[in-house]
Copies of this chain bind each other. A is one copy, B any other.
């Protein structure tokens, strides 16, 4: 198999699709994105990077940022984080508040919104949000080996204005004593973290440490983040993604997905249209094709 050709074929196939899903429209910045875009990029163990499609176009990484926030929070708190958030699939939508009520304010995992808010609170510590965001950008720029990674403040502002459900989650966590900072404070950091803008070229490089191709955190920790991505990275579509793609992955509502083939590759795809579970429709299909052709599934 010629991987370069495979990527070209996948990009061509995706360009021809008419059923591309629906881009997120809850804030103007996401609704305005041209849905006819698709990009893919792969970093390999030998240090090479292959890309196809709109691979240099920046997009809002949104929930993909939760992976990096988790790495930072674990760096600060270590396993203590797991007293505040669990490691189980929720079986529910990303923004559900149900389990939080019946399970005493301890979110199921760090990738559902409630768990990500707790994770950001932990990563934040007692610092001003600005300092945490600076650390996050430094982490991303180092991982991607690219200084040109920024936060889109218009996106963050729009999220702040419309994110009532996230405010509900944060206040609920606070009511259960599972936030150390004031809700507004944590959400300020959280919305800015989600508003990071990257291209698939940058994102694939930034994910290399999870594939074991770059040393930024302990291998044991990377392994465990991969496990969480596989069981929880696509919310109530995680089982389906594991079944079809067979790789740890984390999606964002901006249409990006970071997928990891441990020891082999870090893969980023992007296409703005979402499937009913809120994950990139073409991104998922492209990864399914890629996994089938490469045999990179972790399941054999």
Contact = CB atoms under 8 A, between A and B. Distances in A.
Contacts of A230: 230-231, 242, 299
Contacts of A99: 91
Contacts of A210: 300
A175 interface: yes
B167 A88 contact: no
Interface in A255-276: 260, 262-263
B300 A212 contact: yes
B237 A242 contact: no
A241 to B, nearest CB: 9
A297 interface: yes
Contacts of A98: 98, 101-102
A89 B243 contact: no
Contacts of A87: 239-240, 243
Interface string A157-182: 00000001101111110110000000
A89 B171 contact: no
A71 to B, nearest CB: 14
B299 A248 contact: yes
Nearest to A210: B300
A164 B174 contact: yes
A205 to B, nearest CB: 17
Interface stretch (A31-39, A148-156, A189-197, A219-227): A219-227
A211 interface: yes
Most buried by B among A92, A102, A108, A243: A243
A236 interface: yes
A278 to B, nearest CB: 14
Nearest to A167: B171
Given A174-B164, A175-B164, A299-B230, A224 B243 contact: yes
6 contacts: A87-B239, A89-B239, A96-B101, A171-B171, A224-B243, A228-B239
Given A171-B171, A226-B300, 7 more contacts: A88-B89, A91-B91, A91-B99, A167-B167, A168-B170, A228-B242, A298-B299
Nearest 3 interchain pairs by C-beta: A91-B91, A262-B300, A164-B175
